[in-house]
Amino acid sequence: MLTITQHNFTIFITSLLLFHDCNCAPPDSTLLPIYTPHSKKQQQIAKPSIFLIESIIEFREAYNTWPISKQEFIAKKTKYKEAFIDFPYLNIQFKIKDNDNMTFYFTEHIKDEQRYEKTQRIDLNSYGGEVKFYKENGKFVWKIRMY
């Protein structure tokens, strides 16, 4: 014969109330992000071209200001427009700190966007990065950092 004590009954009811509204089913796998590993060679290929980076420095030296946007940059010279040919990133941003320091951000690589269109899943290891420009010993230098 099974006897239920008040203590056991209370624990049972409390458990039911706590886990009743809990959605303990595994999440839909189509909503989970993906992680695509990239080799060092793939990261190197995804970096902006040296021609583009040198064009940004040339723009700064020629006009004594950093570009504010891609549109302003490519409107100044055909050479600057050519620097963006085959540039694989859809989102760019110029963040100007002062006259000698600027950071150029680039995200949303074309390959990542195509993968998203195909799978409808965000890649946690998507291509992107930044180029920091600064003045050192009277000359503009830069460093690339990929995310």
**Per-residue exposure over 51-84, b if at least 16 CB sit within 10 Å of its own CB, e if not:** ebbebbbebbeeeeebbeebeebbeeeeebeebb
Tell me the whole-structure pTM to 2 decimals: 0.75
Mean pLDDT of the chain: 86
**Interval 13-54: pLDDT, tens:** 565 555 555 555 455 556 688 888 889 999 999 999 999 999
Give the bridge partners for 97, in sequence order: none
Check pLDDT > 50 for residue 69: yes
- Determine the Cα–Cα distance for residues 143 and 132; give it in Å rounded to an integer: 5
Check pLDDT > 70 for residue 126: yes
Residue 144's pLDDT band (boundaries 50, 70, 90)? very high
